Structure 1
Amino acid sequence: MGLDINYQVIPDNCVLLARSRQVDEFCRHLEFFPQNALLSQSELEDSAEFCDEAEYRFLVEFAQEARQLIRDYPGIEERNLCHRKWDMLYYLLSPQRRNGGDKLAGEDWAEKAIFGDEVLSLGGEKIGHPIHYLSPIEVYAIQDKLDRVDADMLGTHWNPVAMRRAGVYKINGNESDESFQYLLELFCQFKAFYASVSEDEGVLVWLS
């Protein structure tokens, strides 16, 4: 078990996103967007016994909007990515991360790419971690930066011992070259995910 980072494409102008910005109790269901969107009416009704009246109302409203989003944007529920090696990738991409987290001059685009930007939900008792959002403009900037990164650039910073000292999540310090090759595969998936996001779409990001 461990913490994964999840990425979900979402249209920037959709009602689901607008409502999530307005009401935290609505927003928290974004973490389970694909599952909630596909709930049957009977499954929704069964959920009532586990929720209070207000929670159930927001769940029903969310499921309705999520279904409409899937009708308007077929396949959107499948345009996502789950990443467990996120801190390793963050270390390889970010001078700030390699510098111990100290802020450097300029904006850390890699931090946004990994963790998102705008906080949509503060979570609280119902969610362990906030849900973040990247706007289309930010996604475009990240796409451009990722296009400039190749395997050789990442390889110059691959140092499991140093990464262990830096407290990189889920690294032991004795990883082999095969581990780096696997991380490169994950980076290619990460890069392809961002490349798939169109100009009118943003990205939701959350830890789970």
Structure 2
Amino acid sequence: MQAGLNRLINERTHMVAAIAHDLRTPLARLSFRLDGLQPPLRDKALADIDEMKAMIPAALDFIQNDRHRGERAPLDLRLLVESVVDNATDVGADAELLPGPEITLDGDPLALRRAVMNLLENALKYGKRARLQLQRDGEDGVLWIDDDGPGIAPTQREQLLLPFVRGESSRNRDTGGIGLGLSVAHSIVLAHGGDLRLDNRARGGLRVTVRLPCMPERR
């Protein structure tokens, strides 16, 4: 059964890759033919084409990363999150990890790092600043990521965790995005037996809550 599943996934990947390759040529022709249009119509059409071009490698990356899962090992979630935040602040981002406990879990460090990076980048993109905090809740470790952005409509909470779905704010060309960051993070969290949810904060902004099963506390 596993061999059949792997074969199906490989066939799906090859199919998407072939479609992506074939799409590049007509998109290039379309870009060339738009040169005769007058702005701003031409600029808007070219921006749409650029967005479609960006979706091609993103779709391949999403499928390939969904296939390849790294080996799991005990890791300190706090140190992982702290490293991601430090990298962001090194390039001028307004991000802070608040004091919290050490949380050890059995996980894929590269995948979890990517999940935290995606969530932090999302908070910074739409909220300009991010505050992160870790807490232990029974047998789970909980990570909160708060931003000062516009929040989301309640009807979008589940939709925004699906691939290629974006909130209203991302339609602005300044923020852009193609709707994979939250979906990838959600997929990684689910693969670790956890849960990810989106909630509007009472004082404004969005809170992302990541809940992951952790290892027993050392005595």
Same fold per TM (> 0.5)? no
TM range (shorter): under 0.3
Which structure carries more relative contact order (alpha carbon 8 Å, separation 6+)? 1
Q: Which has the larger radius of gyration?
A: 2
TM-score, length of structure 1 as denominator length: 0.26
Structure whose residues are more often strand by fraction: 2
